[in-house]
Structure formats: structure tokens, C-alpha cells
Homo-oligomer: A and B are copies of this chain.
Amino acid sequence: MATQRILDFLATRRPNGPCLVVDLDVVRDNFRAFEKALPDSKIYYAVKANPAPEILRLLAAMGSSFDTASVAEVEMAMDAGAPADRISFGNTIKKERDIARAYQLGIRLYAVDCVEEVEKIARVAPGSRVFCRVLTDGEGAEWPLSRKFGCVPAMAVDVLRHAKNLGLDAYGVSFHVGSQQTDLSAWDRALGDAKKVFATLAEEGIVLKMVNMGGGFPTRYLKDVPAAQAYGQAIFSALRKHFGNALPETIIEPGRGMVGNAGVIKSEVVLISKKADNDNVRWVFLDIGKFGGLAETMDEAIRYPIVTPRDGSETAPCVLAGPTCDSADVLYEKTPYPLPLSLTIGDEVLIEGTGAYTTTYSAVAFNGFEPLRSYVI
């Protein structure tokens, strides 16, 4: 996944210290693949996955819309050239003054999952469109979403009715099947739930128009994942099955699926050692770890492919850890990572599939280490 452009950049520029390099050509290809796979859905790029201005500008120019998590992200999307009507404030947890600020900036589409949030929006963003997030089970996802966002479908009906009563545009339903979702039937179950909310409200004369199918589209780490095309077909079938000919407007919010495979982190082996002479497992310490951008290795959830200059020679399992004085800064320990026995201190390794959820997760200065630098080429 390290493209020739990325390899050339690293070979020429030789940046010191760990850094992420993102190839915009891959982002462009990913955007086109989503457009092709789901031609009837609007693409709202999840800015939080990687808000690099170059990425936002490219996607804005290609016609993408944007899913934002904060006023700062709204402003980033607008700075990149996106008009307000292509921006959704997709965080269900918002301060009322932030909603007011977004409304001032022209934002008219908001996520909610409870009546309390509806009331804030009614007060400071009158007449706006709201969609209610429905809880899904997240089964099959590598990074499950727990119950933090959304409410049960029965409550979503109350929430949207309340929105309508307060003069808002009860616009639709959203769900998120869980990040890095590889089970195609997850969308079918969630669309079934969405349809129930549509049907119940229709009986009361409230006509919802949109289903926001969220993100969850995986990027390829070590295991193969279904291609965008397979997702598109599964989703279209599920839409047909549940909504028949009365297909709603649909939105997707890819983040990881848009930029994950576009980025590669260059890192350096700082130390290779053992804890006892008779240990089988070597400890390999890199100059980047959990607090330098690889937070998604939490609970060893995401397992990144790692390329070393010694690949092809005999490997043995290693514990892989970061450079900080924090014992939690271990990337892979429960399931050790096979690396070449000939790997040496000072070797540069490439951590692939790191275009999403790395730079912004990086700690400001933990242990004095600077945050992950990023180059978008």
C-alpha cells in the first residue's frame, strides 16, 4: 500500500523522525470508487478521519460533502471550499453555543439521538433538518461502536416527532454499523430498523426523506476486505428489500474507507531487546506508539501491515511497543507480531494503512515527543 509516489517522497526528502505520508491519488481513486459503487448516495467524508487541508480541498473540488464533529471541523470544510449546504454537523453531542455558531455559518443539517439535543437545535438553529441516529448492534466490526451514539428505534420515533413539533424538519434516520465493518449483512439489519421508523412516523403524517448510512467501510489492513463494489451491491439490495420503490435519499460517511489506505507512516526501530536471556519473544521498540498516532492499536484492535527492509528473511514473533515511558504504550503484545530476525536498530519500517485516525489522535507532547508530522503529496 506504500505507493511509488510515497516511496519516492521518503527516499528523496528523508524526513527525520516518524511521519505520515498521504498519497492524494489514492484518495481520489477511493472517492471515485464510492461514487461508482453507490451512485445514488451522497458522500459525506468524515473529516475526523484525517482533516489535512489538502485532503479536504481535493474532496471539496470533487464534489464531496462533509460530515463534521465540531465547529472547528465545520470551519475546516468551509475553508477547503465546501459550501454550507454540503456540510452535516454529525456529532450527536453538541454544546448549544456550538450549534448556534454552526447555524450562523449556514449549517442546516444536524444529528440528534435524544429530545434534549432536539430542543437545543430548535432554540438556536430553527427550521433545520435533523436526523436521528438509531442504535445498531455493531456485530462484525473490528472497532465496535458500543451504545454511545444513537437510541433504540422506538425512541427515535419520539425524538423525530418532537423535532417536528418544535418546527424542525424531521429529515431522516442515521445509523453506523461499526467501523471497519466487514459483514455486509450489517447494513441490511440496520436498514430494516430505519424503515420501521419511517413507517411508524408515516402513519402520523410525518414523512422522513433521508437515510444516513454512516461509515464503517473498511480499509485493508492485514486481512482482505470486500471491495466498495460489494458494499454498494449489498446496500442497494437491502434498500430495495426494505423500501421497495420508495427509495429514500441516502448519505454515506466514509472516513477510514476514504483515506486509510492512502497513508503510510515511516518509523524507525529504536531498540530490539529481551527481558531475560531465555525469552523467546523479542521486544521491538519503534519511534511511534500509542500516544504518537497509533491509538487505534488500543486492545490490539487494528493490526497494521508493517514493511521492513529485511522482509523475505526468517521471522519470529515480537512484542511491538512505542518509545514513551508509559507501560500502556505497547502496540501488539497479546498477539505478537512476526518480524524478521535480522531486523536491526536503526532500520526504517513502513506502517501501512495509516491514513485515517492517526495524526489527530496524536498526543500534543507526551514524554516531550512532538505530534506526528504529516505530508500530503
Residues of chain A having any CB pair with chain B under 8 Å: 46-48, 51, 68-73, 76, 90-96, 113-114, 116-117, 120, 135, 143-152, 154-155, 158, 268, 270-277, 283, 285, 287, 291, 295, 298, 321, 323-330, 333, 345-346, 359-371
Of B68, B120, B325, B366, the residue contacting A90 (CB under 8 A) is B325
Of B149, B329, B346, B369, the residue contacting A327 (CB under 8 A) is B149
Q: Please report the C-alpha to C-alpha distance between residue A363 and residue B346 in the assembled complex, in whole angstroms.
A: 27
Contact B368 A275 (CB under 8 A): no
Contact (A330, B72) CB under 8 Å given A91-B367, A271-B114, A361-B291: no
Contacts of A277 in B (CB 8 A): 154-155, 158
Q: Please report the C-alpha to C-alpha distance between residue A361 and residue B143 in the assembled complex, in whole angstroms.
A: 21
Q: Please report the C-alpha to C-alpha distance between residue A369 and residue B71 in the assembled complex, in whole angstroms.
A: 9
Contact (A68, B268) CB under 8 Å given A277-B154, A325-B48: no
Contacts of A291 in B (CB 8 A): 295, 361
Contact B371 A360 (CB under 8 A): no
Q: What are the 9 closest A-B residue pairs judged by CB atoms, nearest first?
A: A72-B368, A114-B273, A70-B368, A73-B368, A69-B367, A145-B327, A152-B276, A69-B325, A93-B285
Contacts of A69 in B (CB 8 A): 324-325, 367-368
> Which partner residue on chain B sits nearest A47 by CB separation?
B368
Contact B48 A367 (CB under 8 A): yes
Q: Please report the C-alpha to C-alpha distance between residue A291 and residue B360 in the assembled complex, in whole angstroms.
A: 10
Contact B327 A70 (CB under 8 A): no
- Which of A295, A333, A366, A368 counts the most chain B CB atoms within 10 A? A368
Total identical chains: 2
Contact B327 A76 (CB under 8 A): no
Contact B370 A366 (CB under 8 A): no
> Which partner residue on chain B sits nearest A113 by CB separation?
B273
11 CB contacts below 8 A, A to B, read A68-B368, A94-B270, A95-B287, A143-B327, A148-B327, A149-B325, A152-B276, A154-B277, A359-B364, A363-B363, A364-B371
- Which of A71, A91, A365 counts the most chain B CB atoms within 10 A? A365
Distance to closest chain B CB from A44 (angstroms): 12
- Which of A96, A270, A330 counts the most chain B CB atoms within 10 A? A270
Q: Please report the C-alpha to C-alpha distance between residue A313 and residue B370 in the assembled complex, in whole angstroms.
A: 44
Of B92, B147, B330, the residue contacting A146 (CB under 8 A) is B330
Distance to closest chain B CB from A142 (angstroms): 12
Contacts of A149 in B (CB 8 A): 325, 327
Contact (A367, B73) CB under 8 Å given A275-B155, A330-B148: yes
Q: Please report the C-alpha to C-alpha distance between residue A112 and residue B73 in the assembled complex, in whole angstroms.
A: 43
Contact A327 B144 (CB under 8 A): yes
Contact (A95, B268) CB under 8 Å given A117-B273, A325-B149: yes
Distance to closest chain B CB from A280 (angstroms): 13
> Which partner residue on chain B sits nearest A115 by CB separation?
B273
Distance to closest chain B CB from A318 (angstroms): 13
Distance to closest chain B CB from A111 (angstroms): 9
Q: Please report the C-alpha to C-alpha distance between residue A285 and residue B327 in the assembled complex, in whole angstroms.
A: 28
Contact (A275, B147) CB under 8 Å given A48-B368, A95-B287, A365-B360: yes
Q: Please report the C-alpha to C-alpha distance between residue A5 and residue B295 in the assembled complex, in whole angstroms.
A: 36
Contact (A270, B95) CB under 8 Å given A275-B135, A368-B76, A371-B364: yes
Contacts of A114 in B (CB 8 A): 271, 273-274
Q: Please report the C-alpha to C-alpha distance between residue A16 and residue B362 in the assembled complex, in whole angstroms.
A: 23
